[in-house]
């Protein structure tokens, strides 16, 4: 079938704001959500900053948070915001729905607690709910349980591109007529094990993230959730829903090259597939929301792929990770929310912390200040460890 897919609801929980409007205003103002981490002790690490969400009160969104891990709390809150934004109460959602959530490490905070208990000889005292939260499906399961959604349920553990994978799968299911609606996105909570892992890879910047800058020093780990409510375009129009954008298509690839180092060829292939599957040519893309991690390898390879695909067009490319930090499994879904709002508001978010151009990143990275521009089609890039790439095209409804 050839049904079209609309984005009618947006929910976001991030270090620069909770909810669509606060998040967007912070983006276009170039606000930073990076601060000293307080969730766990970083005194034994050489790095101490992260995109930690300091003002999140789960009880404002969730009736009973007793056994929910932090990532599930974010996902439920973002879903509640997205459903409210779409004007779609959970009780009105039929079983022809899918909940598809991406992540890197389900409930990393509970992994921290369980490993601490094992190290201290308290393995038998680890609570049952912590063990259940360690299951990969915990986040998507908890979203479905909380909203009593009995349709399909899936967690995609494809790390930093998982949110885009979730959007792509929801798009496929609606387009084929297998479902009518989808709750898609990603969620990730900061944890000691993730922070420690990135430090061990020498990938964490000391103070801030500066994508595409010549003197960039790496990522800043972050946390949050981004959820989009997708539905059959005909149904959205019939119920007079506000439509932020259309999911035009997506493209997948695997570098099959290196666990942590991206490769231009794989990035280029995913972008080309996204355009082809959307029925578009490079000249139709008005803006790229970059993966833009702030590492030497990613920014160089991504920039090179963009220049090859758009040789005659100095297309605006920005990385909002400069403000949020790298929210891992939530990254590409939060960035998809940003893309939808960019289309709606005809405004491109900036790449902050930019001071020195890099010849290896010869792109227009929208440095430091947001920019007004008519946006009809945008490309959202998401890449992950293992070379798992997913790029999504979102377009304006004319």
Catalytic (active-site) positions = 160, 291, 326
Say how far apart CA 56 and CA 222 lie, in whole Å: 14
Separation of alpha carbons 381 and 348, rounded Å: 15
| Residues 395, 398: Cα–Cα separation, whole Å | 9
Rg (the chain; Cα; Å)? 20
DSSP secondary structure code for residue 92 in this structure: G
Category of 389 on φ-ψ map: left (φ > 0), alpha (ψ -120 to 50) or beta: beta
Tokens of 220: 């800043």
219, two tokens:
């990522």
DSSP state of 370: -
- Residues with Cβ within 8 Å of 200's Cβ and at least 6 positions away in sequence, in order, are none
Can you tell me the distance from the alpha carbon of 111 to that of 140, in angstroms, rounded to the nearest whole number? 17
Residues 58, 73 contacting (CB under 8 angstroms):
yes
How far does CA 252 lie from the centroid of its chain? 16
**Hey, which residues does 36 pair with through a beta bridge?**
49
CB count, 10 Å around CB of 100?
26
Residues 6+ apart with CB under 8 A from 9: 82, 83, 84, 85, 86, 87, 88, 227, 228, 229
Taking the C-alpha atoms of residue 43 and residue 50, their distance in angstroms, rounded to an integer, is 14
């Amino acid at each position: 079938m050839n049904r079209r897919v609309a984005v009618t609801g947006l929910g976001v929980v991030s270090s620069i704001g909770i909810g669509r409007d606060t998040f967007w205003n912070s983006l276009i103002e170039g606000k930073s959500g990076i601060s000293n981490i307080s969730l766990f002790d970083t005194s034994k690490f050489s790095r101490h900053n992260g995109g930690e969400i300091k003002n999140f009160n789960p009880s404002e969104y969730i009736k009973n948070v007793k056994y929910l891990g932090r990532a599930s709390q974010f996902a439920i809150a973002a879903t509640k915001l997205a459903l409210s934004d779409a004007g779609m109460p959970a009780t009105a959602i039929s079983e022809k729905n899918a909940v598809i959530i991406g992540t890197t490490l389900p409930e990393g905070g509970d992994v921290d607690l369980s490993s601490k208990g094992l190290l201290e000889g308290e393995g038998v005292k680890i609570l049952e709910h912590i063990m259940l939260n360690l299951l990969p499906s915990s986040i998507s399961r908890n979203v479905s349980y909380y909203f009593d959604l009995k349709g399909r349920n899936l967690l995609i553990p494809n790390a930093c591109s998982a949110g885009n994978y979730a959007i792509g799968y929801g798009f496929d299911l609606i387009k084929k007529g297998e479902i009518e609606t989808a709750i898609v996105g990603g969620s990730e909570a900061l944890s000691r094990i993730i922070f420690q892992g990135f430090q061990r890879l020498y990938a964490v910047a000391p103070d801030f993230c500066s994508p595409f800058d010549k003197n960039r020093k790496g990522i800043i780990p972050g946390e949050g959730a981004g959820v989009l409510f997708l539905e059959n375009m005909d149904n959205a129009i019939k119920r007079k829903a506000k439509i932020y954008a259309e999911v035009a298509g997506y493209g997948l690839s695997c570098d099959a090259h290196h666990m942590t180092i991206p490769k231009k060829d794989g990035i280029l292939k995913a972008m080309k597939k996204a355009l082809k599957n959307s029925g578009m040519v490079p000249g139709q893309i008005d803006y790229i929301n970059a993966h833009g991690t702030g590492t030497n390898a990613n920014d160089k390879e991504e920039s090179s792929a963009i220049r090859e695909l758009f040789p005659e067009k100095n297309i605006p490319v920005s990385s909002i990770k400069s403000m949020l930090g790298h929210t891992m499994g939530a990254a590409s879904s939060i960035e998809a929310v940003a893309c939808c709002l960019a289309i709606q508001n005809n405004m491109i978010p900036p790449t902050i912390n930019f001071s020195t151009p890099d010849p290896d990143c010869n792109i227009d990275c929208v440095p430091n200040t947001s920019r007004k521009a008519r946006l009809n089609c945008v490309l959202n890039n998401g890449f992950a460890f293992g070379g798992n790439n997913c790029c999504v095209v979102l377009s304006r409804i004319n």
